[in-house]
Amino acid sequence: MKNFAIAAIALAFCSAPAFADSKPAEDEAGKIKQTLSDWGCEGGTFEKETEASSLFEADDVKCKDGNQYDVKLDGSFKVISITRD
């Protein structure tokens, strides 16, 4: 019985779908760049979250304070989180 439970748990973890972030569309990337520019930041790599619709990430963004940040934006391209690298 114990082996069955372990096998069932392992199967559940293995069968869970793997989510990969996707590249945002060109117009979405433009809106991300504009928002970052409004905050005094530029550069970075952009991703669109696939687990949660309408969330975007901008990683390794350089800001005018000289630091590098990871920025999360909502579907309206408003900043919801900034984390310093």
Stated pTM of the model: 0.73
Cα–Cα dist 33/3, whole Å:
52
The domains of the chain are located at 21-84
What's the pLDDT tens digit per position in 21-54? Answer: 799 999 999 999 999 999 999 999 999 988 766 8
> Percent of the chain having pLDDT more than 90?
66
pLDDT of residue 54: 83
Cα–Cα dist 42/56, whole Å:
15
Average pLDDT along the chain: 83
